Structure 1
């Protein structure tokens, strides 16, 4: 307190600090002012609260939404097995789209949307909406309080009118049950091929080029690569020449690219320690799958000094001098090598496809 401040007892006995400009503070040690409880506003009844016909109408509306959800799930299940994978159509603003993908996406979206809308409409029209106030209490509850909580939940189910509205109960159960089937079907049947031979087959296979070797093309320019273009330490992102056929036809282009992505690198041949890797390359120029054997990210980072390839997703590291064996990270097997040669015109070509599956190693667990 400075010389300009004075203190005096307030009306309630609390000390008041004053300055020449007036009162600035009042101690609340002995006088605690409480805000007056404003209470709850009057409850406004909904039409369905007082009119049973309105409640019945709301019940039918909710059940209709759940029924539409079931219909969407059924359309999904039928389309999954009936619509051909190769079927396409022109979608305005997008271009060529897969008929199956569009039907599956729309039907699954409608199914989950109708469940959500039905639940919201049910809550807004039939579930209790009275305002309640509950005082905070200690986290640890007594057995009696827990029993009361269970009773409260049971009472809530009755308040939500489940016993009185069996139509909602049964359609909700049907909607949730059917909606789980498309999700299970997607998980069980759409996580990828289970046939190892299918994983080994990419558009590097000469069968896609009338049995002839396939030229290596720059990605995305799709121009051929001559051996003389690949200098020591250079890196090329490569696609097979056969990709152009898929682009022209507009079928499975992304799937073909995902399996066929290759990285082409040239280093001193004397640094390559594995004879097979030397034999499958040309003068130190080697080609490997870009798809990480961990979870399928693109391996595109090359450390020229250490000759390591790095996956940016989870830091799996592959030693290019050791036939891309794993030296760090979660990947469990080397990157598959693509055998390359030089044709009569000096261009790099692949005389055969991969001799092992590309991408994540989950297929090994199927054996």
Structure 2
């Protein structure tokens, strides 16, 4: 066979062969522990404690700035852009200092004052009462090592920062207002106390629309006539009452029983508010007769009473019943027959 002692696979040291003994390596263990300045110098430890306390106080101040900006700066209908920018600036700075203060303080506390010894131990399951008592002792040891009992200034400022930190979130969520209940069921499209019906008007100029103005394939963004004259609550009323008006070939419409009088010669009107999360449905595909919500791509089939054919929306767009008055103008014969806007779990459907 020949001599292969010159580095061949059978005799060379580059490849391990079966039967060879693997070389064992000694466990190097943990590296030597390096003491920090706060471990050896009481003044440095006290200085680090003051720094952590200051960071927690900064967090509290940031939360207070947020709350003051949120409640003290009144944004009315006549607020100028400078006031809005000031509030946004203070809200952002308040949130940043509130979160960064408490987060940086905890990190600095852990790095400068808490024990940093590395520990290696075998993992084992907790099965006996002795093991459970040992686990409780470990938790107690951790609490003791943090020094939270020996450092009341850090403990108290941390508790204070953690108590006030959620307040901005609570303020924002609370300002979302009460549940809609039946508020989304009533809009400006309802006839007045004398039975006068509301005309459909162009958005945004408020010009009434005649049926003759609506040609096949056209689409109008519509608001109730008189909306622009409101002095208070205009935006809230518009958010509920905006409508898309379109005209199709009447033969293309699949009308459910009971809705025969809700349209006029192929002219139909539907709520513009998507039933997913309330985004404005603003895109009309003339060839396919589809309405598209640009936020999450919910798609509604106009020929089938705006039934959902794609996307996350769970129900069709509410239809506004319309007719023509004696002067040829389009009017709403009644309010929507169901609440407009997004769906939610406590909502009742008609």
Q: Is the Cα contact below 8 Å between 1:263 and 1:288 reproduced in 2?
A: yes
Q: Is the Cα contact below 8 Å between 1:69 and 1:115 reproduced in 2?
A: yes
Match of residue 34 from structure 1 = 24
1:284 matched to 2:296: no
Residue in structure 1 matching 2:96, options 109, 123, 140: 109
In 2: Cα distance, 1:239 partner to 1:29 partner: 88
SS in 2 for 1:97: helix
1:85 matched to 2:85: no
CA 1:116/1:245 → structure 2, altered by over 3 Å: closer, same or farther? farther
Alignment of 1:300-319 (within 5 A): none
Considering fraction of residues, name the structure with more helix. 1
Give the CA deviation at 1:154. Answer: 1.7
Match of residue 168 from structure 2 = 182
1:76 matched to 2:57: no
In 1: Cα distance, 2:10 partner to 2:90 partner: 77
Give the CA deviation at 1:239. Answer: 6.0
Considering fraction of residues, name the structure with more strand. 1
CA 1:200/1:212 → structure 2, altered by over 3 Å: closer, same or farther? closer
TM-align CA RMSD: 5.1
Give the CA deviation at 1:74. Answer: 2.8
Q: Is the Cα contact below 8 Å between 2:244 and 2:269 reproduced in 1?
A: yes
In 1: Cα distance, 2:3 partner to 2:293 partner: 73
Match of residue 13 from structure 1 = none
1:149 matched to 2:141: no
In 1: Cα distance, 2:91 partner to 2:176 partner: 12
Unaligned 5+ segments in structure 1 are 11-15
Alignment of 1:1-367 (within 5 A): 17-18=9-10, 24-27=14-17, 29-86=19-76, 88-90=79-81, 97=84, 99-135=86-122, 137=123, 140-143=125-128, 144-190=130-176, 194=180, 196-197=182-183, 200-201=186-187, 213=199, 215-217=201-203, 232=216, 234=217, 236=219, 238=221, 240=223, 262-270=243-251, 271-274=253-256, 279-299=261-281, 320-321=302-303, 323-324=305-306, 334-338=316-320, 357-362=339-344, 365=347
In 1: Cα distance, 2:91 partner to 2:38 partner: 37
TM-score by length of 1: 0.67
